[in-house]
Chain A
Amino acid sequence: MMPRGAVIFVFFLLAVSLFFAVGSFNYSGMAGFVPLVLAIPTALLAVVVLVGEWFPSVTRYFEVGLEDLLSTGGGEGQNPPVHAPRAGEIKLIVQTFGWFVAFALILFLAGFYVAAALFALPFMRFQGKIDWLGSMAVTLLVEAFFYVVFEQLLNVNLFEGVLFGSFVLPL
């Protein structure tokens, strides 16, 4: 069965390529020409990949890499085999990224130390199923590490949050 997420993602990549292709007309001369000649083949390749998602026989010529021939294991961060999400997997993925996004929002509002505590403690306890004592101990250690290494040794001013008056650079 065709993986629906894979098709949606190809459409996303196609949209990115087309954004650059269309946007390139805003720039004159080579400043627009170079993005255009890069975006058009990328978009065409994305279309071929899209066709391959529906009709795998069309792109089977390209489906075996050198690594597949020689190895049986995974590559260095390279293409893992595609598989449809298992039951409960999507929920776990959304949950995990939910934690990460929530952390980023709290950091923006209340600063690094508050966000780190509000992220690490409940994450370890509820997502990682670690006992309260272990979760608290590791959270405290991490906070101490950031204070000593980042603030004292590396002289990094960790963000204190817009609620506590931290300055935010304009986007």
Chain B
Amino acid sequence: MWEAFIQALGQLSQPGNLLILTLGSLAGVILGALPGLFLAGLTIGMTFTFGWDPGSAMFLMAGMMGSVSEGGSVPAILLNIPGEAPNAATCFDGHPMARQGQAGRAAGLAAASSFLGAMIGLVFLMLLLPFVKKIVLAFGPPEFFMLVVFGLLTVAYAARGNMLKGLVSAGIGVLISLIGFSPVHGVLRFNLGSDNYLWDGIPLVPFFIGLFAIAELVNHILRGETIAAGGQRIKVGVFGAFAGLSEVFQYKATLFRSSAIGILAGLIPGIGGVLANFLSYSMAVQFSKHRERFGSGNPEGVIASEASNDAKDGGALLPTIIFGIPGSAGMAVLLGAFILHGLQPGFFFVREHMDIVFVLIIGLVISNFLASLMAMMGADILSRVTTLRIGYVVPVAFLLAIGGAYAARENVWDVGMAVLAGIFGFVLTRYGYSIVTLVIGFLLGVRAELSFVQSLQISAGTYAIFFTRPVTVVLMVLCLVILTLPALTRRSYRASA
């Protein structure tokens, strides 16, 4: 394991990789401050890595992913507008602090708790790494198949709104993944008469660009003239921000509890940063002796929110790396980047590419550090970025997206695919269907089919294999529990309403 760590450090020392990481962090901080644009930016960033060596590509992805929530905390504190959804709870106490003239202190608290939360998450991941091979080996084809079913159910349940629509999206995603030549069966399926373009299935890059970038740009056009409307901008004092840094250590219990919630939320597919964010905030309120102070500028509120949404990355990397099951949209794009670079998560990934795992970890550590500095020093500029006019942003972002969709394979039909996927993604979100479950279904479809077929080969064609192995039985029970949860959630929701 230490050899892989040293190899990863060696990759960092290569000329250009530190620059890529720094530029990725800068892009992540800016995109994080622009509500709704991070996934679009991350997907476009992924397309730039085509042709790079996997290490450099992962430094860019880690740079962008590690810095997003730091960027998102700035408009949450200064404008009362969360840059990304997982920064939403930061508004509750961060913005009141800013209105009381403590914007710098709040920005410092957010930066320090984000960084420390991320470090706690990554230390947890590193502690688990020696056991990863054993965990992976415990999962044969039947277990992996049930894990995919469990993952899709949890993502569909965790989404806002109708779980049925989430499941329909997942089903459509899996079905779409079956288009093209099947390496499992050796036949070309559902190719719509296309013997060339759809041979390898729906191309991943233009499909992602359409769903995540183009669809979101149309949503931005509908929302208004600037990226984030409203909010009274408040200035930040840089010295105040540095004062806020040390204050985090006065609230160690909140920091560790929120980080632990973030890690757990990351480990379970679908329980992304939003849920971790609100759960850790509500836990901070429950554990506090001064509950009445929350919502009016309590530093603990900022710490709880920011520590959890950064700690989740450490937890979320684990299922993505060892099973190839992404728990969130960001992790789905990361998985897309793995596939783009010929890296297949699972046992062989852990055995052959442990250096890439450490590249991601080192990248996330440095990115979080750089982003915390950037968010504190450039908070005033970042809050101005949110007032960029849509008239500028949409055509430029669209052209970058199209350039990325084309560049991956230099095939002009990919441009048409990106536009079609954009229309499809826009209509999906418009009518309350989850793009994330669709994408996760799409990414896991072929592997799930392979596991299903292999399971039946192992059992000589009998389905009892899914009901007789301990792990599959546990996963099946968990699936049944998830199917009953909407009723309980509905009852709690109505009670709280």
A interface residue numbers (CB < 8 A to B): 3, 5-6, 9-10, 13, 16-17, 19-20, 23, 27, 29-31, 34-35, 38-39, 41-42, 45-46, 48-49, 52, 59-82, 89, 92-93, 96-97, 100-101, 103-104, 107-108, 112, 116, 119-120, 123-124, 127-130, 134, 138, 142, 146, 150, 154-159, 166, 168-171
In this assembly, does B304 line the interface, its C-beta being within 8 Å of a C-beta of chain A?
A: no
Known: A64-B489, A138-B396. A79 touches B433 (CB 8 A): yes
Which single residue of chain A is at the shortest CB-CB distance from B483?
A62
- In the assembled complex, which residues on chain B have CB atoms less than 8 Å from the CB atom of A29? 185
- Check B197–A72 contact: CB distance below 8 A: no
With a cutoff of 8 Å between Cβ atoms, the chain A residues found around residue B172 in the complex are 13, 16-17, 42
Q: Chain B, 94-115, contact with A by CB distance < 8 Å: what is the 0/1 string?
A: 0000000000000000000000
Knowing A71-B274, A171-B196, say if A65 contacts B190 (CB, 8 Å). Answer: no
* For the complex of A and B, 5 pairs with smallest distance between CB atoms: A128-B391, A42-B171, A31-B185, A79-B161, A70-B278
Q: Assess the A64–B490 pair: CB atoms within 8 A.
A: yes
- CA of A75 to CA of B178, assembled, Å: 28
Contact of A20 among B175, B187, B214, B413 (CB under 8 A): B175
Chain B residues, CB < 8 A from A170 = 195-197
Q: Which of A34, A66, A81 has a CB less than 8 Å from the CB of B432?
A: A81
B493: CB under 8 A from chain A?
A: yes
B256 at the interface (CB under 8 A from A): no
Contacts of B88 in A (CB 8 A): 71-73
- Bound-complex Cα distance A14 to B422 (A): 20
Beyond A38-B174, A70-B278, A123-B395, 19 additional pairs, beta carbon < 8 A: A17-B172, A20-B178, A20-B190, A31-B187, A34-B449, A41-B171, A62-B163, A78-B158, A78-B434, A80-B429, A97-B423, A100-B398, A119-B395, A146-B403, A154-B51, A156-B406, A159-B412, A169-B412, A171-B197
Count of A-B contacts judged by CB separation below 8 Å: 285
CA distance A59 to B422 in the complex (A): 28
Q: How far is the CA of A6 from the CA of B486 in the complex (A)?
A: 22
Shortest CB distance B105–A (Å): 24
CB–CB A78/B159 < 8 A: yes
Query: What B residues does A48 contact at CB under 8 A?
Result: 164
Which residues 464-497 of B have a CB within 8 angstroms of A? 485-487, 489-490, 492-493, 496
In the bound assembly, the distance between CA atoms of A93 and B423 in angstroms comes to 10
* A42 and B391 alpha carbons, distance in the complex (Å): 39
A-B contact pairs, 22 of them (CB 8 A): A27-B189, A31-B184, A35-B175, A35-B190, A42-B171, A45-B168, A64-B493, A65-B489, A70-B282, A72-B88, A75-B274, A76-B274, A76-B330, A78-B434, A93-B222, A96-B218, A101-B419, A103-B398, A104-B419, A119-B398, A169-B411, A169-B412
